[in-house]
Amino acid sequence: MKKKVLILSGGVSKERLISLDTGLQVAKELKKNGYKVKISEPNKNLETNIKNFKPNVIFNALHGQFGEDGYIQTILEQFNIPYTHSGVIPSSIAMDKEISKKIFIKNKINTPKFFTYSYDIKNLDLIKKINKKLGFPVVVKPLNEGSSVNVYICNKKNIIKILSSIKNYKKVMIEEFIGGKEIQVAIMGNKKLGAIELRPKRSFYDYQAKYNEKAKTQHIIPVELNKKNFDRVMSIAFKTHKLIGCKGVTRSDFKFYKGKFYLLEINTQPGMTKLSLVPEIAAHKGISFLKLIKWILKDASKKR
Protein backbone atom coordinates (compact mmCIF):
# COMPACT_ATOMS: atom_id res chain seq x y z
CA MET A 1 0.00 0.00 0.00
CA LYS A 2 1.36 3.41 -1.00
CA LYS A 3 2.05 5.97 1.72
CA LYS A 4 -0.10 9.00 2.48
CA VAL A 5 1.94 12.16 2.02
CA LEU A 6 0.93 15.58 3.30
CA ILE A 7 2.71 18.31 1.34
CA LEU A 8 3.28 21.61 3.10
CA SER A 9 3.49 24.48 0.63
CA GLY A 10 2.69 28.16 0.22
CA GLY A 11 3.30 30.00 3.48
CA VAL A 12 3.82 33.69 4.09
CA SER A 13 7.41 34.25 2.97
CA LYS A 14 8.50 36.17 -0.12
CA GLU A 15 9.15 32.76 -1.70
CA ARG A 16 5.49 31.72 -1.49
CA LEU A 17 5.05 31.30 -5.27
CA ILE A 18 8.15 29.10 -5.55
CA SER A 19 6.91 26.99 -2.64
CA LEU A 20 3.49 26.53 -4.29
CA ASP A 21 5.24 25.44 -7.49
CA THR A 22 7.50 23.00 -5.60
CA GLY A 23 4.47 21.54 -3.78
CA LEU A 24 2.52 21.17 -7.02
CA GLN A 25 5.37 19.44 -8.89
CA VAL A 26 5.94 16.97 -6.01
CA ALA A 27 2.20 16.29 -5.64
CA LYS A 28 1.77 15.64 -9.39
CA GLU A 29 4.63 13.15 -9.45
CA LEU A 30 3.43 11.27 -6.36
CA LYS A 31 -0.23 11.14 -7.47
CA LYS A 32 0.82 9.76 -10.88
CA ASN A 33 2.51 6.93 -9.02
CA GLY A 34 -0.31 5.91 -6.72
CA TYR A 35 0.45 7.91 -3.57
CA LYS A 36 -2.37 9.48 -1.59
CA VAL A 37 -1.49 13.17 -1.43
CA LYS A 38 -2.90 16.22 0.30
CA ILE A 39 -1.47 19.75 -0.03
CA SER A 40 -1.79 21.99 3.01
CA GLU A 41 -0.86 25.56 3.85
CA PRO A 42 1.05 25.98 7.15
CA ASN A 43 -1.87 27.90 8.67
CA LYS A 44 -4.41 27.35 11.45
CA ASN A 45 -5.89 24.38 9.54
CA LEU A 46 -2.59 22.47 9.59
CA GLU A 47 -3.33 20.54 12.79
CA THR A 48 -6.83 19.62 11.54
CA ASN A 49 -5.43 18.53 8.16
CA ILE A 50 -2.81 16.33 9.84
CA LYS A 51 -5.33 14.74 12.21
CA ASN A 52 -7.92 14.10 9.50
CA PHE A 53 -5.55 12.95 6.75
CA LYS A 54 -3.23 10.93 9.04
CA PRO A 55 -0.15 11.10 6.78
CA ASN A 56 2.73 8.64 7.04
CA VAL A 57 5.15 11.43 6.18
CA ILE A 58 5.09 15.21 5.68
CA PHE A 59 6.91 16.66 2.67
CA ASN A 60 8.03 20.16 3.62
CA ALA A 61 7.91 22.13 0.37
CA LEU A 62 8.04 25.51 2.11
CA HIS A 63 10.78 27.99 1.25
CA GLY A 64 12.03 31.07 3.06
CA GLN A 65 11.06 32.45 6.46
CA PHE A 66 8.92 30.25 8.71
CA GLY A 67 9.41 27.34 6.29
CA GLU A 68 13.11 26.50 6.36
CA ASP A 69 14.39 28.44 9.36
CA GLY A 70 13.43 26.01 12.14
CA TYR A 71 10.03 27.59 12.81
CA ILE A 72 7.73 25.09 11.05
CA GLN A 73 10.12 22.28 12.03
CA THR A 74 9.49 23.14 15.71
CA ILE A 75 5.73 22.86 15.10
CA LEU A 76 6.05 19.59 13.18
CA GLU A 77 8.06 17.97 15.99
CA GLN A 78 4.95 17.87 18.22
CA PHE A 79 3.04 15.59 15.79
CA ASN A 80 5.60 12.78 15.90
CA ILE A 81 5.27 12.27 12.13
CA PRO A 82 8.41 12.09 9.96
CA TYR A 83 9.01 15.24 7.91
CA THR A 84 11.47 15.84 5.10
CA HIS A 85 14.72 17.78 5.05
CA SER A 86 16.65 19.07 8.05
CA GLY A 87 15.47 19.41 11.64
CA VAL A 88 15.03 22.46 13.85
CA ILE A 89 18.62 23.45 14.65
CA PRO A 90 20.31 22.76 11.27
CA SER A 91 17.48 24.61 9.52
CA SER A 92 17.79 27.67 11.75
CA ILE A 93 21.59 27.75 11.44
CA ALA A 94 21.63 27.40 7.65
CA MET A 95 18.96 30.07 7.16
CA ASP A 96 20.78 32.65 9.29
CA LYS A 97 23.55 33.88 6.99
CA GLU A 98 25.50 35.54 9.81
CA ILE A 99 25.57 32.47 12.08
CA SER A 100 26.32 30.05 9.24
CA LYS A 101 29.17 32.19 7.91
CA LYS A 102 30.72 32.37 11.38
CA ILE A 103 30.59 28.56 11.49
CA PHE A 104 32.21 28.37 8.04
CA ILE A 105 35.03 30.68 9.16
CA LYS A 106 35.56 28.79 12.44
CA ASN A 107 35.89 25.54 10.48
CA LYS A 108 38.25 27.00 7.87
CA ILE A 109 35.70 26.98 5.06
CA ASN A 110 36.47 29.87 2.73
CA THR A 111 33.64 32.43 2.48
CA PRO A 112 33.50 36.07 1.31
CA LYS A 113 34.42 38.68 3.95
CA PHE A 114 31.44 40.48 5.45
CA PHE A 115 29.99 42.55 8.25
CA THR A 116 26.42 43.16 9.38
CA TYR A 117 24.84 46.59 9.22
CA SER A 118 22.04 47.83 11.47
CA TYR A 119 21.52 51.32 9.99
CA ASP A 120 23.42 52.67 12.98
CA ILE A 121 26.30 54.66 11.44
CA LYS A 122 26.44 57.70 9.19
CA ASN A 123 26.49 57.23 5.44
CA LEU A 124 30.01 58.60 5.02
CA ASP A 125 31.35 56.39 7.82
CA LEU A 126 29.72 53.35 6.21
CA ILE A 127 31.42 54.09 2.87
CA LYS A 128 34.76 54.41 4.70
CA LYS A 129 34.19 51.11 6.52
CA ILE A 130 33.37 49.31 3.27
CA ASN A 131 36.45 50.76 1.56
CA LYS A 132 38.64 49.64 4.44
CA LYS A 133 37.20 46.15 5.08
CA LEU A 134 35.75 44.95 1.77
CA GLY A 135 36.20 47.34 -1.15
CA PHE A 136 33.54 48.07 -3.76
CA PRO A 137 31.46 46.58 -5.29
CA VAL A 138 29.74 44.77 -2.42
CA VAL A 139 26.75 42.46 -2.09
CA VAL A 140 23.92 43.58 0.18
CA LYS A 141 21.55 40.85 1.37
CA PRO A 142 19.01 40.14 4.11
CA LEU A 143 20.21 37.75 6.83
CA ASN A 144 17.37 35.27 6.46
CA GLU A 145 15.88 35.23 2.97
CA GLY A 146 16.39 32.68 0.21
CA SER A 147 16.14 32.69 -3.60
CA SER A 148 18.22 35.90 -3.77
CA VAL A 149 15.24 37.93 -2.53
CA ASN A 150 16.37 41.56 -2.04
CA VAL A 151 19.99 40.76 -2.86
CA TYR A 152 21.84 43.59 -4.64
CA ILE A 153 25.30 44.25 -6.02
CA CYS A 154 26.14 47.79 -4.92
CA ASN A 155 28.71 50.44 -5.74
CA LYS A 156 29.51 53.73 -3.97
CA LYS A 157 26.85 55.59 -5.93
CA ASN A 158 23.85 53.37 -5.22
CA ILE A 159 24.51 51.63 -1.91
CA ILE A 160 22.81 54.21 0.35
CA LYS A 161 19.72 54.27 -1.87
CA ILE A 162 19.51 50.45 -1.90
CA LEU A 163 20.02 50.16 1.85
CA SER A 164 17.21 52.68 2.36
CA SER A 165 14.91 50.65 0.11
CA ILE A 166 15.27 47.52 2.32
CA LYS A 167 15.31 49.32 5.67
CA ASN A 168 12.43 47.18 6.94
CA TYR A 169 14.95 44.37 7.54
CA LYS A 170 16.61 46.50 10.28
CA LYS A 171 19.80 44.43 9.93
CA VAL A 172 21.45 43.25 6.70
CA MET A 173 24.71 41.72 5.56
CA ILE A 174 27.25 43.64 3.52
CA GLU A 175 29.54 41.15 1.82
CA GLU A 176 32.64 41.24 -0.35
CA PHE A 177 31.72 40.74 -4.01
CA ILE A 178 33.43 37.74 -5.56
CA GLY A 179 33.46 37.35 -9.34
CA GLY A 180 34.11 34.14 -11.22
CA LYS A 181 32.04 31.00 -11.80
CA GLU A 182 28.71 30.27 -10.07
CA ILE A 183 28.89 26.66 -8.90
CA GLN A 184 26.06 24.88 -7.08
CA VAL A 185 26.64 21.53 -5.37
CA ALA A 186 23.99 19.00 -4.30
CA ILE A 187 24.46 16.57 -1.42
CA MET A 188 22.01 13.69 -0.94
CA GLY A 189 22.43 12.23 2.54
CA ASN A 190 25.87 10.61 2.52
CA LYS A 191 26.22 10.91 -1.25
CA LYS A 192 28.05 13.69 -3.11
CA LEU A 193 25.40 13.97 -5.79
CA GLY A 194 26.96 16.43 -8.23
CA ALA A 195 27.41 20.03 -9.31
CA ILE A 196 26.17 22.50 -11.89
CA GLU A 197 27.58 25.78 -13.17
CA LEU A 198 25.27 28.72 -13.85
CA ARG A 199 25.95 31.46 -16.36
CA PRO A 200 23.27 34.11 -15.91
CA LYS A 201 22.63 36.66 -18.64
CA ARG A 202 21.75 39.11 -15.87
CA SER A 203 24.37 40.81 -13.65
CA PHE A 204 24.24 37.85 -11.25
CA TYR A 205 22.11 34.80 -10.39
CA ASP A 206 19.26 36.79 -8.84
CA TYR A 207 15.58 35.92 -8.33
CA GLN A 208 14.67 36.54 -11.99
CA ALA A 209 17.64 34.50 -13.22
CA LYS A 210 16.52 31.62 -11.00
CA TYR A 211 12.81 31.49 -11.75
CA ASN A 212 12.10 33.30 -15.01
CA GLU A 213 12.68 31.14 -18.08
CA LYS A 214 13.00 34.31 -20.18
CA ALA A 215 16.12 35.26 -18.18
CA LYS A 216 17.85 32.42 -20.08
CA THR A 217 20.42 31.46 -17.46
CA GLN A 218 22.77 28.90 -18.99
CA HIS A 219 23.11 25.64 -17.03
CA ILE A 220 26.45 23.87 -17.54
CA ILE A 221 26.53 20.21 -16.52
CA PRO A 222 28.98 18.58 -16.14
CA VAL A 223 30.76 21.61 -14.71
CA GLU A 224 33.91 22.85 -16.44
CA LEU A 225 36.34 22.14 -13.61
CA ASN A 226 39.32 19.82 -13.56
CA LYS A 227 39.00 16.68 -11.40
CA LYS A 228 41.03 18.14 -8.54
CA ASN A 229 38.85 21.26 -8.26
CA PHE A 230 35.64 19.28 -8.76
CA ASP A 231 36.56 16.89 -5.96
CA ARG A 232 37.53 19.85 -3.78
CA VAL A 233 34.21 21.67 -4.13
CA MET A 234 32.25 18.43 -3.59
CA SER A 235 34.22 17.78 -0.40
CA ILE A 236 33.60 21.31 0.94
CA ALA A 237 29.85 20.96 0.32
CA PHE A 238 29.79 17.52 1.97
CA LYS A 239 31.77 18.78 4.97
CA THR A 240 29.35 21.71 5.36
CA HIS A 241 26.29 19.44 5.09
CA LYS A 242 27.64 17.26 7.91
CA LEU A 243 28.98 20.17 9.97
CA ILE A 244 25.58 21.89 10.12
CA GLY A 245 23.88 18.54 10.85
CA CYS A 246 21.68 18.54 7.74
CA LYS A 247 19.40 15.71 6.59
CA GLY A 248 18.04 14.82 3.18
CA VAL A 249 19.13 16.94 0.24
CA THR A 250 21.04 20.22 0.47
CA ARG A 251 22.44 22.60 -2.14
CA SER A 252 25.52 24.68 -1.44
CA ASP A 253 26.22 27.83 -3.46
CA PHE A 254 29.82 28.69 -4.38
CA LYS A 255 31.81 31.21 -6.36
CA PHE A 256 35.04 29.99 -7.95
CA TYR A 257 37.54 32.77 -8.52
CA LYS A 258 41.29 32.69 -9.13
CA GLY A 259 41.61 29.06 -8.03
CA LYS A 260 39.62 29.50 -4.81
CA PHE A 261 36.13 28.34 -3.85
CA TYR A 262 34.03 30.70 -1.74
CA LEU A 263 31.01 29.19 -0.02
CA LEU A 264 28.13 31.67 -0.02
CA GLU A 265 25.49 29.61 1.78
CA ILE A 266 23.93 26.19 2.24
CA ASN A 267 20.24 25.62 1.40
CA THR A 268 18.45 22.96 3.45
CA GLN A 269 15.29 22.90 1.31
CA PRO A 270 16.26 23.30 -2.35
CA GLY A 271 13.46 23.95 -4.83
CA MET A 272 11.76 21.17 -6.76
CA THR A 273 10.36 23.22 -9.66
CA LYS A 274 10.98 22.73 -13.38
CA LEU A 275 13.88 25.20 -13.20
CA SER A 276 15.32 23.85 -9.94
CA LEU A 277 18.91 22.71 -9.79
CA VAL A 278 18.88 19.64 -7.53
CA PRO A 279 16.44 17.69 -9.78
CA GLU A 280 18.60 18.67 -12.77
CA ILE A 281 21.79 17.46 -11.06
CA ALA A 282 20.00 14.25 -10.01
CA ALA A 283 18.73 13.66 -13.57
CA HIS A 284 22.28 14.02 -14.88
CA LYS A 285 23.25 11.24 -12.47
CA GLY A 286 20.41 9.02 -13.72
CA ILE A 287 18.08 9.72 -10.79
CA SER A 288 14.56 10.57 -11.98
CA PHE A 289 12.41 13.21 -10.28
CA LEU A 290 10.20 10.45 -8.79
CA LYS A 291 13.21 8.51 -7.53
CA LEU A 292 14.59 11.69 -5.92
CA ILE A 293 11.28 12.44 -4.17
CA LYS A 294 10.92 8.84 -2.99
CA TRP A 295 14.46 8.94 -1.59
CA ILE A 296 13.68 12.20 0.29
CA LEU A 297 10.51 10.61 1.76
CA LYS A 298 12.40 7.46 2.77
CA ASP A 299 15.18 9.53 4.31
CA ALA A 300 12.59 11.49 6.34
CA SER A 301 11.35 8.24 7.87
CA LYS A 302 14.76 7.46 9.35
CA LYS A 303 15.35 8.49 12.95
CA ARG A 304 16.52 12.07 13.40
The single-letter DSSP state of residue 83 is B
- The pair phi, psi for residue 13, each rounded to 5°, is -75, 170
Helices (H) and strands (E) in the chain, counts: 11, 12
Q: Is the pLDDT confidence value at 207 over 50?
A: no
Cα 294 to Cα 57, 80, 111, 222, 299, distances in angstroms: 11, 20, 33, 24, 8
User: 274 and 189 in one domain?
Assistant: yes
CATH number, domain of 249, equals 3.30.470.20
- The whole-number average pLDDT for the span 263-288 is 93
Q: Is the pLDDT confidence value at 117 over 80?
A: yes
Record the pTM: 0.91
Range of the structural domain that residue 213 is part of: 180-300
pLDDT in tens, 239-274: 999 999 999 999 999 999 999 999 999 999 999 887
Band the pLDDT of 200: cuts 50, 70, 90.
confident
> Among the listed ranges 39-48, 65-74, 141-150, 293-302, which one has the minimum average pLDDT value?
141-150
Q: Is the pLDDT confidence value at 93 over 70?
A: yes
pLDDT at 125: 92
* Active-site residue list: 15, 147, 211, 251, 253, 265, 267, 271
Q: Is residue 97 part of a domain?
A: no
User: 296 and 184 in one domain?
Assistant: yes
- The whole-number average pLDDT for the span 92-121 is 95
State how many domains the chain has: 3
| Domain end marker among 46, 63, 84 | 84
CATH number, domain of 118, equals 3.30.1490.20
